[in-house]
């Protein structure tokens, strides 16, 4: 564990398991082509939900994807997190026998698995008395189950945390991981967010929001490797440097205005001018009137070009706490082959209908000297 003062945390690898496919390349291709992965729900696989369509990860079942050992009671959101971590560790060359004591794990989620919670509740009410339920199903009902399972599965012995902040979870999780690195609590952190599709989650979202039109639910897991720039292995390039985080709560009903204030403060704190922002992108949130709040605020601040450069991750449907992480993955997918003409910063915003707002500032490429 490092005891010195580390340099700025950087993102040096990422992966995504999404409705576009099971890896980073599939996600990047889907984003660049702006393809919608929303499809009709397979009623042979899923119980009835409020909508006829969803954006599910194709062909994903934890037992088939990860093997039968240790997956009998694994729920879908845990499976997505474990699988994404497996991909990312393989991508960065971590071998089974390698030291993992310094690797932290930070995972964002809304509640964990809603389906597991509902199934256990139903079993406790309808099963044989006195309240006979499947003991192996109980851990899956805890919010931090997915993060814990991922760490156990892959032997990650650094700090382990679950971050739950609604749609603003992504920036909060990145900031938490950044703090772990800055304080020397870990030398590498896998940081991501995961949401599952399930009929239970679909019904909860439908009744929570109200209205006649069902929500198109999306799922998946986006995950990033964060590490201090000066501690990364030779040859591992920097995709972006985390340069700032800001959060706000809207108290006056002007959510777009609150987004704008948060972004201005974020840029000012980092000493970044609006002209230095290559892409400014939101998480696809729309308010009760159908207004794309983040997009409205960002267009006023930056104009059309930076806002239109990266497709919105709402292509994936409503991915809730994972929306901002998928949006960050979309930024990196597009930036990989884009000409930036001197503008090298990206702002990723997200907000929720409870008035919470959060945003992250990323400097693309190598950190500033």
Is the domain of 339 the same as that of 213? no
Residue 209 lies in a domain: yes
Q: Which of 231, 254, 280 is the last residue before a domain boundary?
A: 231
DSSP E strand boundaries for 183-276: 188-195, 220-228, 240-249
Is the domain of 71 the same as that of 191? yes
Number of folded domains that form the chain: 2
pTM, rounded to two decimals: 0.94
Residue 174 lies in a domain: yes
Is the domain of 227 the same as that of 258? no
* Chain centre to alpha carbon of residue 150: 15
Residue 3 lies in a domain: no
pLDDT (0 to 100) of residue 6: 57
Q: Which of 212, 231, 250 is the last residue before a domain boundary?
A: 231
Q: To which residue do tokens 């071998």 refer? A: 95
Is the domain of 101 the same as that of 203? yes
Q: Which residues contact 188 (CB under 8 A, 6 or more apart)?
A: 102, 103, 104, 158, 225, 226, 227, 231
Domain, as residue range, for 269: 240-364
Is the domain of 110 the same as that of 206? yes
Would you state the structure tokens that stand for residue 280, as one six-digit string? 């400014």
For CA atoms 61, 65, 71, 72, give the dihedral sign. positive
Q: Which of 193, 210, 231 is the last residue before a domain boundary?
A: 231
Is the domain of 70 the same as that of 215? yes
CATH of the domain at 289: 3.40.47.10
Is the domain of 105 the same as that of 168? yes
Is the domain of 63 the same as that of 127? yes
Is the domain of 19 the same as that of 123? yes
Residue 19 lies in a domain: yes
Is the domain of 14 the same as that of 37? yes
Residue 4 lies in a domain: no
Residue 1 lies in a domain: no
pLDDT (0 to 100) of residue 2: 47
Residue 58 lies in a domain: yes
Averages of pLDDT over runs of 10 residues in the chain (369 residues) are 65 98 97 95 92 96 90 93 97 88 96 89 81 79 94 96 97 98 95 97 88 87 96 90 97 96 98 97 87 95 96 94 98 90 92 96 80
Distance CA 49, CA 226 (A): 37
Is the domain of 106 the same as that of 182? yes
Is the domain of 343 the same as that of 266? yes
pLDDT (0 to 100) of residue 186: 96
For CA atoms 56, 188, 89, 100, give the dihedral sign. negative
Distance CA 330, CA 310 (A): 7
């Amino acid at each position: 564990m490092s005891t010195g003062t580390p340099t700025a945390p950087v993102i040096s690898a990422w992966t995504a398991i999404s409705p576009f496919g099971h890896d980073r390349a599939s996600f990047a291709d889907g984003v660049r082509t702006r393809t919608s992965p929303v499809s009709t729900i397979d009623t042979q696989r899923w119980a009835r939900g409020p909508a006829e369509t969803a954006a599910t990860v194709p062909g994903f079942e934890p037992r088939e994807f990860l093997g039968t050992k240790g997956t009998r009671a694994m729920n879908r959101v845990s499976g997505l997190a474990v699988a994404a971590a497996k991909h990312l560790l393989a991508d960065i060359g971590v071998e089974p026998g390698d030291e993992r004591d310094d690797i932290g794990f930070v995972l964002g989620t809304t509640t964990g698995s809603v389906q597991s919670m509902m199934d256990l509740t139903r079993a406790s009410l309808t099963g044989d008395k006195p309240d006979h339920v499947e003991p192996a199903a109980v851990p899956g009902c805890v919010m931090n189950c997915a993060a814990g399972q991922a760490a156990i599965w892959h032997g990650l012995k650094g700090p382990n945390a679950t971050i739950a902040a609604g749609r603003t979870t992504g920036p909060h999780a990145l900031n938490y991981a950044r703090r772990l690195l800055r304080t020397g609590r870990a030398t590498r952190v896998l940081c991501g967010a995961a949401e599952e599709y399930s009929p239970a989650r679909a019904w909860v979202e439908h009744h929570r929001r109200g209205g006649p039109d069902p929500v198109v639910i999306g799922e998946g897991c986006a995950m990033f490797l964060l590490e201090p720039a000066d501690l990364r292995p030779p040859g591992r390039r920097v995709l972006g440097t985390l340069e700032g985080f800001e959060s706000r709560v809207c108290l006056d009903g002007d959510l777009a205005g609150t987004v704008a204030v948060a972004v201005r403060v974020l840029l000012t704190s980092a000493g970044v001018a609006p002209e230095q922002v290559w892409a400014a992108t939101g998480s696809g949130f729309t308010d009760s009137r159908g207004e794309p709040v983040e997009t409205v605020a960002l267009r006023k601040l930056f104009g059309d070009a930076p806002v239109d450069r990266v497709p919105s991750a709402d292509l994936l449907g409503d991915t809730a706490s994972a929306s901002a992480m998928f949006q960050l993955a979309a930024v990196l997918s597009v930036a990989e082959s884009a000409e930036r003409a001197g503008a090298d910063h990206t702002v990723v915003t997200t907000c929720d209908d409870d008035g919470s707002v959060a945003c992250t500032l990323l400097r693309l490429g190598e950190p500033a000297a």
